[in-house]
Amino acid sequence: MEIQKYKAKILDSDQVVIGYISETRKYLGNGCYSAGTSYVMSVTEKSMPNGNYGTHLVDECTIEKYN
């Protein structure tokens, strides 16, 4: 079984990373009733050689499958 890789932009940045969605966080906004979700992506040497390794919040609108 292979874990799916994704490509996305780091939140509030123009940097694109390739990695694995490691967590989704549901939250309520500050003092409002609308719900939202944050996506956390883990970037490793295997997913993106010479990349920006670590864990990053990514922009949901830019997430796409990477082959």
Q: What is the pLDDT of residues 7-38, one digit of tens each?
A: 999 999 999 999 999 988 777 555 555 567 88
Global confidence as pTM: 0.79
Number of domains in the chain: 1
Closest residue by Cα to residue 64 from 2, 1, 3, 9:
9
As given in the structure block, the two tokens for residue 2 are: 């292979």
Left, alpha or beta for 22 (phi > 0: left; psi -120 to 50: alpha)? alpha
Query: Could you tell me what percent of the chain has a pLDDT over 90?
Result: 64
Q: What is the mean pLDDT of residues 39-67?
A: 93
Residue 43 in domain: yes
- Distances in Å between the Cα of 29 and the Cα atoms of 18, 24, 52, 56 are 28, 15, 29, 20
Residue 67 in domain: no
Residue 55 in domain: yes
As given in the structure block, the two tokens for residue 12 are: 């509030």
67, pLDDT greater than 80: yes
CA distance 32 to 1: 41
pLDDT of residue 35: 64
Where in the sequence is the domain holding 43, given as residue range(s)?
5-62
pLDDT of residue 33: 53
